[in-house]
Structure 1
């Protein structure tokens, strides 16, 4: 942070950043990663067949 910012402003910025990461970014990334993996498995089974085949 810049030296001109007060500790209160820095705490507010850190709190807002944490809330953004914890409430928005982490769940969205989790859904994207799981959906991407599921899509990759689905596509591979279309071309290669089910695992028992």
Structure 2
């Protein structure tokens, strides 16, 4: 197998794709996961009451 070096255009596109993922998409996904977990806990406490001794 012969591997050829990436062309300049492919490297630029790969770097741009990485930056879009790292700067724009993953932070929104992280915030969405944390917010979703908080919503689940909030709904759980709504139906079961707060934790701690009664």
Which stretches of structure 1, 4 residues or longer, exceed 3 Å deviation after superposition? none
Please tell me whether Structure 1 or Structure 2 has the larger radius of gyration of its CA atoms. Answer: 2
Question: TM-score under structure 2 normalisation?
Answer: 0.82
Gaps of 5+ in 2: 1-5
- How many correspondences in the alignment? 48
Question: TM-score under structure 1 normalisation?
Answer: 0.83
Gaps of 5+ in 1: 1-5
Q: For CA contacts below 8 A with separation 6 or more, give which structure has more relative contact order.
A: 1
